[in-house]
Amino acid sequence: MCGIVGTLNLTQQHPIRQEGLRQMLGAIRHRGPDQFGVYVFQDAHDGVGLGNARLSIIDLGGGQQPISNEDGTLWIVFNGEIFNYVELRPELERLGHRFQTDSDTEVIVHLYEQYGADCLAHLNGQFAFAIWDERERSLFLARDRVGIRPLHYTVQQGALLFASEMKALLSDERVTAVFDPLALAQIFTYWSPLSPRTSFEGIYTLPPGHWLKAGNGRIHIQSYWQPTFPPANNDTHHGKWALHEAAQQLRDLLIDATQIQLRADVPVGAYLSGGLDSSTITALIHHYTGNRLETFSIAFSDAAFDESAYQQQMAAHLGTRHHIVTATHRDIGEVFPEVIRHTETPILRTSPAPLYLLSKLVQDTGFKVVLTGEGADEFLAGYNIFKEAKIRRFWARQPESAIRPLLLNKLYGYVGNLDNTAYLQKFFGRDLTATNDPTYSHAIRWRNTARLHRLFTPELQKTAAQAEWKVESDQLASLLAPLSSLSRAQYLEITIFLAEYLLSAQGDRVAMAHSVEGRVPFLDHRVVEFANQLPPHFKLRGLDEKHILKQAMRDLLPEEIWRRAKRPYRAPIHHSFFPDGHPLDWVTTMLSPDSINAAGIFNPLAVSKLQEKLARTDHLSETDDMALAGILSTQLVHHHFMQQFNPGIPVNDQDDVKIVIKTGE
């Protein structure tokens, strides 16, 4: 795993300075502290610079970037892993390509030389990369199908700049951090900006499954992959498999995905949460590979969030060497400012903070790579949002029923203040019969979260009001209309929540903060595409989530593990910022009237009322908890990137740096 940066002159000629690229790399040296690389090409008409910070995992001695093709006309910097590089290389060699290294990076550059943008269809991996074509004078950027690896870009003063993290872009003097008010409204509705927006004006994310090509003063962006589901009335499709046959196919795909994602020249560990998904991956490693297995878990001092008993049970079942970090309220609160420096965006949860502590444990144990269970909930229907939509549709057939809404009580036993039947019926009964709305499954959640807009200043509230809380459009409606109700809900969850929140704030950013690469077998594109074609009742059978995965894995897991109802990963919020009832010092500073006014995002009176509520009670609602996390994280983004931005230590000659300087004719 690595970090990449770069710049390309589009409509103005700027000097391509090594110093600037070294500073950009310095801002993300945590992503790849082992080696660095810089490529510069400039002549009278074009200028491009590429940079790489490398976390060496494959071909430790020979994989330093930038890497070129045989004649040095194509140059690549790459962040990620290509898991099927072993199979791709012989095919390319038969086509006449000659290799200089044993790295997966070089496979990409030859594949691009052979197929152009179509090379992406051949890749099985998690990636973001940039390839400069000296002959064509074009820059090609690409991001993996579901957005496991990040890639951001901006156009400033006639130049395109790109980087794995926005702090690298901000280290360039042409780029300034300014909040995007519409993105803030989206964060306080959907939990993240809607791609391609980011929290900063003028800085964008390349959407998952897209590539970008720049040259001759122009930029072209194109989709090459998106999640697809069969029509709801596809009777042939529904009769394609018996459940046991489909379960075996899923298991076979997961075995292969797990095996190829263990390819590395360094030891690979696994996260173990105690739930079905991570237990599946660790069990497959144990039973189908010869790898030495070490596992890593988070325990919580707060019993309401702790699952360590299940983690210990699974570790004992597999005989792994198990490592645990215990997160206290204070631990979570104290690391939260640093977590936000890495997420680079406001968030409405504290969940990334314990994962930040976990990646530190992995680093301290001497590991660079871990396999995780992310993705199963999205593609195999594990979340309660899928169940609640199913219950609401059932209830909507008889809206006056007093019995049907009682099913909602089965969903939220782990949230102490959501076990009130009258409250649940009122909350989930809103727009109950609007079942033709393509966003039916998520609309009620989005509307509820959008209530947080009341915290904004009056000016920002006006801007937020212009951002309709729905992500509805004619194109989206026509896309979702033929699908089953579950497929519609899955599509929204995958395209809105997965990449820009879960895989970013809770995945890439907090792992790479400690130079740890997370790999996700459930997001192997073959697993994803297979899961999307399954009949809905294979995934959500009644209210039994991930039914097919349980059938596929029941003989390899303890019954207590595979029969467990889904318990979402959560972390305490207000108790983390106010341990023992008193605010941490940084919390006091961030919530002070001076800080609130300086950021200019929140109404000081609204913030003061929330603090008064905290002073009166030790128990906050889920919405108030989200409000507190959102306010503090937004204030921290303002502090880190607008008030006291620190671009880090530039890469210097004491670092292991590969330099390639070229001039055109």
* Residue 654 in domain: no
Q: In angstroms, rounded to a whole number, what is the distance separating the alpha carbons of residues 96 and 25?
A: 34
pLDDT on residue 574: 95
Q: In angstroms, rounded to a whole number, what is the distance separating the alpha carbons of residues 343 and 359?
A: 14
Do 153 and 294 lie in one domain? The reply is no
Strands (E), 268-316: 268-271, 294-300
C-beta separation of 637 from 341 below 8 A: no
The string of pLDDT tens digits covering residues 73-88 is 999 999 999 999 999 9
> By three-state DSSP, how is residue 483 classified?
coil
The H or E element spanning position 126 is: strand 125-133
Count other C-beta atoms under 10 Å from residue 399's C-beta. Answer: 11
- φ, ψ dihedrals at 404, nearest 5°: -60, -45
End-to-end CA, the chain: 35
> DSSP label at 139?
E
The string of pLDDT tens digits covering residues 117-160 is 999 999 999 999 999 999 999 999 999 999 999 999 999 999 99
- φ, ψ dihedrals at 488, nearest 5°: -60, -45
- φ, ψ dihedrals at 534, nearest 5°: -70, 150
* Residue 594 in domain: no
Is it the case that residue 24 has pLDDT exceeding 90?
Answer: yes
Asked if the peptide bond before residue 337 counts as cis, ω within 30 degrees of 0, the response is: no
Is it the case that residue 17 has pLDDT exceeding 90?
Answer: yes
C-beta separation of 199 from 490 below 8 A: no
Q: In angstroms, rounded to a whole number, what is the distance separating the alpha carbons of residues 471 and 480?
A: 12
Q: In angstroms, rounded to a whole number, what is the distance separating the alpha carbons of residues 614 and 354?
A: 23
* Residue 560 in domain: yes
Domain boundary among 576, 594, 624: 576
C-beta separation of 516 from 370 below 8 A: yes
Is it the case that residue 429 has pLDDT exceeding 70?
Answer: yes
In whole angstroms, how far apart are CA 50 and each of 139, 162, 614? Answer: 10, 9, 49
Do 218 and 231 lie in one domain? The reply is no
Return the bridge partners of 519, or none.
371
Do 204 and 250 lie in one domain? The reply is no
* Residue 249 in domain: yes
Do 262 and 183 lie in one domain? The reply is no
Do 249 and 364 lie in one domain? The reply is yes
The string of pLDDT tens digits covering residues 632-656 is 999 999 999 999 999 999 999 999 9
Q: In angstroms, rounded to a whole number, what is the distance separating the alpha carbons of residues 351 and 332?
A: 9
Q: What is the CATH number of the domain that holds 244?
A: 3.40.50.620
The torsion angle over the Cα atoms of residues 383, 384, 389 and 392, rounded to 10 degrees, is 170
* Residue 520 in domain: yes
Structure tokens at 223: 């989709």
Is it the case that residue 9 has pLDDT exceeding 70?
Answer: yes
Do 21 and 33 lie in one domain? The reply is yes
* Residue 308 in domain: yes
Q: In angstroms, rounded to a whole number, what is the distance separating the alpha carbons of residues 280 and 254?
A: 9
- φ, ψ dihedrals at 457, nearest 5°: -60, 160
Assign 417 a pLDDT band (cuts: 50, 70, 90): low
Count other C-beta atoms under 10 Å from residue 593's C-beta. Answer: 11
Mean pLDDT of the chain: 94
Asked if the peptide bond before residue 650 counts as cis, ω within 30 degrees of 0, the response is: no
Is it the case that residue 486 has pLDDT exceeding 60?
Answer: yes
C-beta separation of 470 from 446 below 8 A: yes
Nearest Cα to Cα of residue 189 among 503, 465, 498, 505 = 465
Is it the case that residue 482 has pLDDT exceeding 80?
Answer: yes
Who contacts 385 (Cβ-Cβ below 8 Å, separation ≥6)?
441, 442, 445, 489, 493
> DSSP label at 300?
E
Average pLDDT over residues 555-568: 91
C-beta separation of 390 from 540 below 8 A: yes
C-beta separation of 37 from 54 below 8 A: yes
Assign 418 a pLDDT band (cuts: 50, 70, 90): low
Do 299 and 383 lie in one domain? The reply is yes
Do 214 and 233 lie in one domain? The reply is no
Do 215 and 263 lie in one domain? The reply is no
Nearest Cα to Cα of residue 82 among 288, 221, 267, 264 = 264
Average pLDDT over residues 536-561: 96
CA-based angle 310:312:318, to the nearest 5?
A: 105
Give the count of domains, the chain. Answer: 2
Do 407 and 379 lie in one domain? The reply is yes
pLDDT on residue 415: 57
* Residue 631 in domain: no
Is it the case that residue 471 has pLDDT exceeding 70?
Answer: no
Is it the case that residue 467 has pLDDT exceeding 70?
Answer: no
The string of pLDDT tens digits covering residues 381-399 is 999 999 999 999 999 999 9
> DSSP label at 210?
E
pLDDT on residue 419: 54
Q: In angstroms, rounded to a whole number, what is the distance separating the alpha carbons of residues 276 and 281?
A: 9
Any idea which residue has 């006291």 for tokens?
A: 644
Structure tokens at 575: 């108790």
The string of pLDDT tens digits covering residues 585-614 is 999 999 999 999 999 999 999 999 999 998
Q: Which of 53-62, 375-384, 517-526 has the lowest mean pLDDT?
A: 53-62
Q: Could you give the angle at which helices 352-364 and 329-343 cross, rounded to 10 degrees? A: 90
Alpha carbon 258 to chain centroid, angstroms: 19
Structure tokens at 565: 């109802």
Q: What is the CA radius of gyration of the chain?
A: 25
Assign 472 a pLDDT band (cuts: 50, 70, 90): low
pLDDT on residue 414: 59
The string of pLDDT tens digits covering residues 305-352 is 999 999 999 999 999 999 999 999 999 999 999 999 999 999 999 999
Do 285 and 371 lie in one domain? The reply is yes
* Residue 617 in domain: no
Nearest Cα to Cα of residue 23 among 155, 200, 163, 177 = 163
The H or E element spanning position 634 is: helix 622-638
Task: Count Cβ neighbours within 10 Å for each residue of 155-194 and write b for 16 or more, e otherwise.
Answer: bbeebbbbbbbbbbbbbbebbebebbbbbbbbbbbbbbbb
pLDDT on residue 465: 83
Do 203 and 215 lie in one domain? The reply is yes
Nearest Cα to Cα of residue 651 among 16, 20, 2, 4 = 20
pLDDT on residue 366: 95
Residues in the chain: 665
Is it the case that residue 469 has pLDDT exceeding 70?
Answer: no
Assign 239 a pLDDT band (cuts: 50, 70, 90): low
Structure tokens at 582: 């008193």
Q: In angstroms, rounded to a whole number, what is the distance separating the alpha carbons of residues 311 and 110?
A: 43
In whole angstroms, how far apart are CA 10 and each of 15, 137, 662? Answer: 12, 11, 18
Domain boundary among 526, 549, 576: 576
C-beta separation of 524 from 534 below 8 A: no
Domain boundary among 543, 576, 609: 576
Q: What is the CATH number of the domain that holds 40?
A: 3.60.20.10
Q: Tell me which residue range forms the domain holding 565.
A: 227-446+474-576
Region of 607 on the Ramachandran plot (φ > 0 left; ψ -120 to 50 alpha; else beta)? alpha
Is it the case that residue 298 has pLDDT exceeding 60?
Answer: yes
